[in-house]
Copies of this chain bind each other. A is one copy, B any other.
Amino acid sequence: MEQLDQHNLRITKQRQLILDELCSVTSHPTADELYQMVRKRLPKISLGTVYRNLEILSDCGIIQKLDIGGTQKRFDGNASTHYHVRCSRCGRVDDLSIPPDFNVEKTASRLTRFKILRHRLEFTGLCPDCQS
């Protein structure tokens, strides 16, 4: 992955595989779910390695760490700003195809002395499966 090169990160089997698996999926998996996925191809990888690499990759802005309710954090292979819906019953997280509105950051800047760096819009609701 050229993304790894750009950040001077070594390309290790583990790192590459974690990134590949995360990017191949739209389900916003938890660290543990990703660990199970990666283990199918690399059974000896440790959960600690998964956590460490997810941390590194999100620090570099290659992936996104989602802190979106529930006890576990979730991860998103798509690092660009976009919005999410989360099912309050089963925890499922989907992407939402609303175009991100960066004007709110300007509006917010006028109303606070914080230096605004980014924003996050999240919806809570019931997924199709949980509505019945």
Is the beta-carbon distance between B125 and A120 smaller than 8 angstroms? no
Complex-state Cα separation, A113 to B85, whole angstroms: 10
Q: Is A97 an interface residue (CB 8 A)?
A: yes
Chain A contacts to B: CB under 8 angstroms:
67-70, 83, 85, 87-88, 94, 96-98, 104-105, 107-108, 111-128, 131
Q: Can you give 6 A-B contacts (C-beta < 8 A)?
A: A67-B67, A83-B108, A85-B108, A112-B125, A116-B123, A122-B122
Complex-state Cα separation, A68 to B67, whole angstroms: 7
- Shortest beta-carbon contacts, A-B, top 7: A114-B125, A116-B125, A115-B126, A113-B128, A67-B69, A117-B125, A85-B114
Please give me the residue from chain B that is nearest to A127 by CB atom.
B114
Is the beta-carbon distance between A123 and B131 smaller than 8 angstroms? no
Is the beta-carbon distance between A122 and B119 smaller than 8 angstroms? yes
Please indicate the chain B residues that have their CB under 8 angstroms from the CB of A105 in the complex.
123
Is the beta-carbon distance between B94 and A114 smaller than 8 angstroms? yes
Distance between A100 CB and nearest chain B CB, rounded to angstroms: 11
Distance between A97 CB and nearest chain B CB, rounded to angstroms: 5
